């Protein structure tokens, strides 16, 4: 039983769900923090001893507790005034949970709902902001040495049922995206594209659906109102966090490839997801996931439309940036690649539960961030078989931290 006592957030600070990365400046090892949700635009660079402090901002450790842990770890006293100043700075940057952050969240929610559409948040940063240049950039990914080129597809004329594509930076992973979207070029096109992307900042309700149209430098992609209105009637709670779409890149990165490949206007259903294979062992999580996916599957069936499900997410995350104690080696990467390809056999065979069980068996030690969109795809899709088309990795920092990803197609 809990005492019901509310702890003073200035003495028991709670760090928000931030991302971090180790960096080097000369001989100094530092850590940079930022907010993947986009609520805060700030970045904060900390020395390792201050990063140790903020790692204990979990609401359970008081400033006094942290001081004792600091003394044990570093052998020196930590002045409470130093920690209090750090807490004040983090609060100012909206890096802590509390009234300031909640007020900013509410203002952001209202502002998002008032927008006519979801603007392109990463144009000019992750890909070209000019439409003509973007079309040329995407075409270049297809024809590059790492891309699929424009050779005829063995699936020509078939109705495509689904794709798996990366969410990694387009400039680096563009050719791998192209391997997935190449399958659309000569196939029979569906009526609607359901895009399920990883919510990298996390979600309270595990899924977040938005009914907004998405703008890109190539034009506006319309949301499928018929499907979305029906889904909202069945499971309205999964529309409550639609602001998560504002700063999330997972869906946005798919759209230039879809627009370039499909050519003509199309509609989509944009969904973000955030749950791990391990969390499915929790009955509350499992119930929520089942509730949403059952309602979604029924809605798609009732619509009578042909559907392509796109699961947008990455695979393994290796290295110090992701919590490992040392950088990955060539051996550890190749071992992880073997595990990835074994794991994706279950995806090719359309086996959602064995896919989850594979990750559970290894305790998700490789941090498969794209689990939830790929698992959801497997629960929703009506297909006979999938195929891995391309597999690759990206290096994310000076310490060789590595992200792996793949492209797949389903018919």
Give 105-121 as a DSSP string.
HHHHHHHHHHSSSB--S
Q: What is the per-residue pLDDT across 308-337, written as a single tens digit (0 to 9) for each?
A: 999 999 999 999 999 899 999 999 999 999
Plot region of 305 (φ>0 → left; ψ -120 to 50 → alpha; else → beta)? beta
310 forms bridges with which residues in the sheet? 163, 195
* Spans of the chain, pLDDT less than 70: 1-6
pLDDT at res. 348: 98
375 Cβ contact list (under 8 Å, min separation 6): 277, 352, 355, 356
Which two structure tokens, joined as six digits, stand for 395?
A: 């290096």
As a whole number of angstroms, the distance between CA 268 and CA 308 comes to: 9
What size, in residues, is the chain?
411
316 in Cβ contact with 403 (< 8 Å): yes
384 in Cβ contact with 298 (< 8 Å): no
pLDDT at res. 2: 46
User: Domain boundaries in the chain?
Assistant: 19-107, 118-410
pLDDT at res. 217: 98
Report CA 219 to chain centroid distance, whole Å: 24
pLDDT at res. 245: 97
CATH node for 118-410? 3.40.830.10
pTM of the model: 0.90
């Amino acid at each position: 039983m809990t005492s019901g006592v509310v702890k003073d957030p200035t003495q028991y600070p709670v760090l928000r769900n931030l991302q971090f990365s180790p960096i080097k400046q000369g001989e100094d090892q530092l850590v940079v923090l930022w907010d993947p949700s986009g609520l805060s635009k700030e970045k904060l660079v900390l020395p390792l001893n201050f990063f140790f402090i903020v790692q204990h901002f979990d609401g359970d450790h008081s400033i006094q507790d942290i001081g004792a842990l600091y003394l044990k770890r570093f052998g020196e006293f930590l002045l409470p005034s130093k920690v209090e100043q750090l807490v004040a700075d983090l609060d100012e940057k909206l890096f802590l949970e509390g009234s300031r952050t909640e007020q900013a969240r509410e203002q952001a929610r209202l502002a998002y709902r008032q927008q006519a559409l979801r603007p392109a948040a990463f144009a000019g940063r992750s890909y070209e902001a000019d439409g003509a240049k973007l079309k040329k950039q995407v075409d270049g990914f297809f024809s590059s040495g790492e891309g699929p080129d424009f050779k005829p597809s063995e699936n020509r004329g078939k109705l495509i049922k689904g794709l798996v594509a990366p969410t990694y930076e387009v400039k680096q992973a563009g050719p791998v995206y192209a391997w997935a979207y190449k399958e659309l070029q000569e196939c029979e096109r569906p009526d609607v594209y359901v895009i399920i992307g990883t919510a990298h900042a996390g979600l309270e309700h595990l899924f977040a659906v938005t009914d907004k149209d998405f703008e890109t430098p190539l034009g506006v992609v319309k949301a499928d109102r018929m499907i979305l209105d029906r889904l909202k009637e069945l499971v309205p709670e999964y529309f409550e966090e639609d602001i998560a779409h504002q700063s999330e890149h997972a869906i946005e990165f798919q759209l230039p490839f879809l627009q370039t490949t499909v050519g003509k206007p199309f509609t989509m259903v944009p969904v973000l997801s955030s749950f791990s294979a391990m969390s499915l062992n929790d009955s509350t999580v499992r119930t929520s996931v089942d509730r949403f996916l059952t309602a979604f599957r029924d809605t798609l069936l009732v619509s009578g439309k042909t559907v392509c499900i796109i699961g947008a997410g990455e695979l393994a995350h290796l290295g110090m940036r992701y919590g490992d104690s040392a950088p990955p080696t060539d051996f550890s990467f190749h071992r992880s690649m073997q595990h990835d390809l074994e794991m994706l056999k279950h995806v090719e065979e359309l086996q959602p539960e064995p896919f989850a069980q594979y990750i559970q068996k290894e305790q998700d030690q490789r941090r498969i961030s794209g689990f939830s969109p790929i698992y959801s795809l497997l629960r929703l899709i009506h297909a006979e078989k999938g195929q891995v088309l391309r597999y690759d990795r990206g290096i994310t920092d000076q310490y060789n931290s590595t992200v792996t990803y793949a492209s797949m197609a389903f018919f």
